[in-house]
Structure 1
Amino acid sequence: MTEEWLLDRSSDTPLYQQIHDRIVGKIRSGAWPVGTKIPTQRELAERFGVNRSTIVYALDELSADGLIQSKVGQGTVVANNTWNVIASARTPDWGRYVAAGAHRPNQQLIQLINKAEENPAILRLGTGEPAPELLPARAMMLSLQNSAASLSLSYSEPRGSLRLRETLSRYLLAKGINAAPSSILIVSGGLQALQLIALGLLHDGSAILTESPSYLNSVHVVQSAGIRPCGVPMDKDGLLARRLGSMKRKTDAAMLYTIPAFHNPTGCLMPAARREELLHVCMHERLPVVEDDVYGDLWLDEEPPPPLKAMDREGLVLYIGSMSKSLGPGLRLGWIVAPVPVIDRLADIKMQTDYGTSALSQHAVAEWLETGRYDEHLSGLRAELRRRRGYMDTLLNRYMGSRAEWSLPQGGFYIWLRIRSPIQVRRLFDLALKEGILLHPGSVYDPGLDEPYLRLSYAYASFDQMELGIRRLAALISQLSGDNTQEL
Structure 2
Amino acid sequence: MEWKPAKSSGIAVYKQIANDIEHRIISGEFPSGSWLPSERLLAARLNVNRSTVISAYDELHAAGLVKRVKGTGTLVSTELWNDADKRLPDWESYVKGGFFQLNNPINRQIYQLVHSGDDIVNFAVGELSPDLLPVSFMQHIQHTMEISQYLGYEHIQGNLKLRDAICAHLKAYRSIDSASSSLLITSGAQQALHLIIQSLLNPGDAVIIEDPSYAFSLPIFHSAGLRTFPLPTFEDGIDPDEILALHKKHRIKMIFLNPNFQNPTGTLISMEKRRKVLDISTKYGIPIVEDDPYSLTEYEGRSVQTLKSMDKDGTVIYISSLSKIIASGLRIGWILGPRSIVNRMADAKQQIDYGHPNYPQWIAAQLLSSEQFDAHIRKLRHGLRNKRDRIIRSLDKYFKGSADYFVPEGGIHLWCKLAIEGTEHQLFKEAVKQGVVFAPGTTLGSSTCHIRLTFSRADDNEIEEGIRRLAEAASRL
Determine if contact 2:295/2:304 at 8 Å carries over to the other structure: no
Contact 2:188 2:331 in 1 (8 A): yes
Are 1:157 and 2:155 an aligned pair?
A: yes
Quote the residue 1:285 is aligned against.
284
Identify the range of structure 1 (419-428 vs 252-261) with the bigger mean alpha-carbon deviation.
419-428
- 1:95 corresponds in structure 2 to 92
Cross-structure match for 1:457: 454
In structure 1, C-alpha distance between the alignment counterparts of 2:303 and 2:249, rounded to whole Å: 32
The answer as to whether partners of 1:214 and 1:445 remain within 8 angstroms in 2 is yes
Q: Which residue of 2 aligns with 1:326?
A: 325
The aligned residue for residue 313 of structure 2 is 314
**Structure 1: which amino acid aligns with 2:336?**
V
Amino acid of the residue matched to residue 230 of structure 1?
F
Mapping of residues 202-281 of structure 1, within 5 Å: 202-281=201-280
Task: Assess if the C-alpha contact under 8 Å between 2:286 and 2:315 holds in 1.
Answer: yes
What amino acid is the match of 2:397? R
**1:151, distance to aligned residue in structure 2 (A):** 4.0
How far apart are residue 129 of structure 1 and its match? 0.9
In structure 1, what is the equivalent of residue 127 of structure 2? 129
Q: 1:149–1:476: structure 2 CA closer, same or farther, 3 Å change rule? A: closer
Kindly indicate whether the alpha-carbon contact (under 8 Å) linking 2:435 and 2:469 is maintained by their aligned counterparts in 1: no
1:102 Cα deviation after fit:
1.0
Matched ranges for 1:391-470 at <5 A: 391-421=390-420, 423-446=422-445, 448-449=446-447, 451-470=448-467
1:192 partnered with 2:162: no
Classify the secondary structure of the residue corresponding to 1:238.
Answer: coil
Task: Give 1:376 deviation, angstroms.
Answer: 2.1
Moved over 6 A (4+): none
Q: 2:474 aligns with which of 467, 471, 477?
A: 477
**Paired AA for residue 262 in structure 1:** F
1:381 Cα offset (Å): 1.3
1:369 touches 1:375 (CA, 8 Å); kept in 2? no
| 1:420-469 deviation per Cα after TM superposition (whole angstroms, max 9, x unaligned) | 245211111011112221121000101x32x3000001111123321122
Tell me if 1:110 matches 2:107: yes
CA contact (8 A) 2:301 2:381 kept: no
Q: Secondary structure at the match of 1:439?
A: strand
Q: CA–CA distance in 2 between the matches of 1:114 and 1:306?
A: 33
For the residue of structure 1 that corresponds to 2:474, the secondary structure is helix
Q: Which residue of structure 1 aligns with residue 14 of structure 2?
A: none
Structure 2 portions without partners, runs of 5+? 1-76
Deviation string 1:364-415 (CA, Å, 9 cap, x unpaired) is: 1100111223222211111111111111111111112321101211011000
Q: Counterpart of 2:104 in structure 1: which amino acid?
A: Q
Amino acid at match of 2:125: T
Deviates more, 1:409-418 or 1:395-404: 395-404
8 Å CA contact retained: 1:271, 1:305: no
Equivalence for 2:369: 370
Query: 1:198-242 deviations in whole A, cap 9, x for unaligned?
Result: 111100111210111110111222322222321012210111122
Kindly tell me: are residues 345 and 222 of structure 1, through their superposed partners in 2, closer, same or farther at Cα, counting changes over 3 Å? same
Is the 2:205–2:227 contact (alpha carbons within 8 Å) kept by the matching residues of 1? yes
2-side partners of 1:318 and 1:248: how far apart? 19
Whether the 8 Å contact between 1:261 and 1:304 is mirrored in structure 2 is no
2:163 alignment partner AA = R
Distance (whole Å) between structure 1 residues aligned to residue 170 and residue 475 of structure 2? 47
- Letter of the structure 2 residue corresponding to residue 475 of structure 1: E
Cα distance, 1:101 vs. partner? 0.9
Q: 2: distance between equivalents of 1:204 and 1:384?
A: 43
Out of 163, 166, 188, the residue aligned to residue 164 of structure 2 is 166
Q: Which runs of 5+ in 1 are unaligned?
A: 1-79, 481-488
* Amino acid across the alignment from 2:132: L
Asked if the contact 2:81/2:88 (under 8 Å) is kept, the reply is: no
* TM-score relative to the length of structure 1: 0.78
Bigger shift: 297-306 or 180-189?
297-306
Structure 1 Cα separation of the partners of residues 149 and 386 of structure 2? 37
Q: Output the TM-score relative to the length of structure 2.
A: 0.80
Q: Report the 3-state secondary structure (helix = DSSP H, G, I; strand = E; otherwise coil) of the residue aligned with 1:222.
A: helix
Distance 1:304 1:418, change over 3 A: farther
**Matched length:** 400
Aligned residue for 1:157, secondary structure, equals coil
Pairwise CA distance, 1:139: 2.9
Alignment CA distance shift 1:132-1:227 (3 Å): farther
Q: Is the 8 A contact 2:176 2:309 kept in 1?
A: yes
Shift of 1:147: 2.2
1:81–1:114 Cα change, 3 Å: farther
Match for 1:173: what amino acid?
K
Aligned amino acid, residue 392 of structure 1: I
Secondary structure of the structure 1 residue equivalent to 2:108: helix
Secondary structure at the residue paired with 1:231?
A: strand
Give, in angstroms, the shift of residue 257 of structure 1: 0.3
Deviations 1:105-144 (A, max 9, x none): 1111111111112112221122211113321234313311
User: In the alignment, residue 387 of structure 1 is paired with which amino acid?
Assistant: N
Amino acid at match of 1:338: G
Map Cα deviations across residues 156-202 of structure 1 (whole Å, 9 max, x no partner). 11111111111111111122211111111111110110111011110
Contact 2:396 2:403 in 1 (8 A): no
CA distance in 2 between partners of 1:150 and 1:413 (Å): 37
In structure 1, distance between residues paired with 2:147 and 2:253: 46
1:16-31, aligned counterparts within 5 Å? none
Counterpart in the other structure of 1:59: none
Counterparts of 1:264 and 1:102, CA distance in 2: 26
Distance 1:149 1:119 in 2: 33
Give the conservation status (yes or no) of the 8 Å contact 2:301–2:378: no
- Say whether the 8 Å CA contact 2:260–2:269 is kept in structure 1: yes
CA–CA separation in structure 2 for the residues paired with 1:115 and 1:258: 29
